[in-house]
Structure 1
Amino acid sequence: MKAKDDLSGHLLAGGLDGRHLPVAVIGGGQAGLAASYCLSAARVEHIVLERRSIGHEWREKRWDSFSLVTPNYQCLLPGHEYAGPAPDGFMVRDEIVDYLRDYVRKFDPPILEGVEVTLLRHDGQRFELQTSRGTLYADQVVVATGAYQLPRIPRIAERLPGSVFQLHSGDYKNPQQLPEGETLVVGTGQSGCQIAEDLHLAGRKVHLATGTAPRVARFYRGRDCMTWLDEIGHYTKGITEFADQDGTRHKVNHYVTGRDGGRDIDLRAFAREGMQLYGRLSTIEGSTVSFQDDLKRNLDGADAVAEGIKNLIDAYIAEKGLNQPEEPRYTPVWEPGPDVPDRINLYTCNISSVIWCTGFSADYRWIDLPVFNGHGYPTHTRGVTSLPGLYVLGLPWLWTWGSGRFRGIGDDARHLTEQILRNAQLQKRVA
């Protein structure tokens, strides 16, 4: 493999201005590192540009108690499968950072940290990358920056009183970060539910505005549900097998947790223990916050998805004739009654903080290339964009459910390496 020392030393030690490489990879997270490993294995000269440092997003944009929701054995970066003592466990935040840093130490990719690409364009013959260390040129480019750069906070947040402390889930660290008083968490995707749980376990009073996110049981019939789904083949099902590809790509993830060895997140149980649940947030007028009358529908919908997954597992067990323990189905432990309010006063409820768990958007403002659809999403087929030589990697549902996770990035990186080699040969023939 090509290591750093095989690249021209002056390229890494000096400026990038005027340099020309066969391939540039933008982003040094798990996607960029996987791409680099595969390119090195194919002996393709390249460089990886990371604007911050290895593991930065995991270290700085996750809360203190964060853990993976997929089992450790599904960490399958190429050449770096999980080999720790807990394959069925769930790595916590700092262990994830160590996993990535160990990957870098293991195969020594040609990576430059602290280099930001501020503009990517094409001059008709090659790609031009304007960076914080000069302008670099490349025949082909892999954009591996992911889809979670810009925190999404609804404009309605501007209507909250100035005395209420607000932050996005990407900036939440721990309960001690918040002022005294109660907290309104908005959103019930994975982050919203896990942060609500974090506050709840710390003894903080939580108000939770729910949404339509589905849930999944952690374990069922003797195994982790994600292990069942892996064996059934769910993780290798390509996006083209779905009728609504755009809808599938943008679905909210099922909420569950890997905390303390993994368990269900049951919002009904939280309500029984004192967490106040509401429907979807509707309006804010001064200190009054209103909610839609859809709490029961949201809870029932999440449970229906979880039970549907169990149906798939039951059918698979029966088809294969597996000897697995029987398990009773879920019975709701709490139901919303007529006393669930549709509006509250923040001051009366002593709510001093709001956490917006409303997701992220990708930031492609630095890319000046005609490859985006009307919603700002890069048009591609398994990472191969409509512009020859430009690729994207690490996006959710780039090809499979695992494409944006440690589970499936390696498969996509290998596929793109094949495309890069094929395109390089085509370029030589044209030249």
Structure 2
Amino acid sequence: MDQMEEPARDLVAMIVPQVGHLARTGDACDPYRLVDPDGAVVEAVTEYFRDLQAAGRSTATLRSYGLDLLRWFRFLWAVDIRWSWATRVEARDFCRWMLVAGKPPRSHWRDRSKTVTPRSTVEAYAPSVRAHCETVLRCFYEFHLSAGSGPIINPFPLARRRQGGRAHAHHNPIEPFRNERSGLYRPKVPSRVPRSVPDEEFNEIFAKLPSHRDRALVAFYVSTGARASELLSATLAGVAPGRQLITVVRKGTRELQELPASTDAFVWLRLYQVEMEGLIPKGRRQPLWWTLRRPVRPLTYHAVHRMFERAGEAAGSTATLHSLRHTAAYRMAEDPALPLTDVQFVLGHALLTTTQIYLTPRKEEVIRRVLAHHAEQTRQAAERARPAPAPGYPPETLEVLFGSRTT
């Protein structure tokens, strides 16, 4: 399309209806399907999901990719453009729309007639969300480009300085890597220091937990460093209190791994099991965590997330459930007797460089040390400003007078 023929779109005032949805089918072959406003399945997305599944991607990955594709298709439906006719203009406007228009208002999950936030208070999409969305859409069109079922040109191209190539294609191994963006419309994602929960704040949150089950969950999270979904995958057969080990299913590899946990975590777990005696099914393959409401059901991620959120609100904290993993990682990385490779194994990181981010000092510790530095500088400046005593005065008398010595 010629530059003079580009459509003039008011991206700020543009309304993108929340039509269509990502449907969970329960089918192992096609766990998710993208449905258009008319109720028809978008076969282009289904074929892409099947390709991802063949490459070993998990169901959670398909859901994450599907939400990004749903956002893109809603934009295309709003501008009345077929996905196979999208050009770089639509891709550019879509990335601009995510930047300037922000998140659309959403209805409450219980009452669809209620809106969670008004339009004026909606925040823009985070750079990490926009970057992830750009990568997903570029790979989606790259798949259909190679299959011959999409446009002849990818609407989401690579950066201009390396068209047709990959990142670090001809990198000299003796030179350091440069921060090279892969996509032309991919935003810069600022590096963030993982947020951990200070000990005082964690103790306040822990005191607000209402049940033995919640205390056991939080104790395991903060001592094992497991992800929320990983800990919920534990079964009765995967608990070994005598060895202080709990077996979880890793998120990426789906392999079983034993994780060491603290003694307190197993104490709270035993109290929870005694409390639920006769209420939960028995069996080695049964889930370890169950709901407290009757009838009991296996505990889900969203229920645990909301549980910790309520405890944090009661304690006046904004800490998230995932911050417990960062807290455990920081505690292990700060122990000089624990090698960083051991921390990498427990956290399940594929690369040691990922674990090294926990060697970055915590913000609270940095503030405490800098304030102590300023106090020391003030004390030294006061000593230098102290006038020299006149000859004949006993030094011990001056020490008592100026407060450096007590009687």
Q: What TM-score, normalized to structure 2?
A: 0.24
Is the helix fraction higher in 1 or 2? 2
Rg larger in 1 or in 2?
2
Which structure has more relative contact order (CA 8 Å, sep 6+)? It is: 1
Q: What TM-score, normalized to structure 1?
A: 0.23
Is the strand fraction higher in 1 or 2? 1
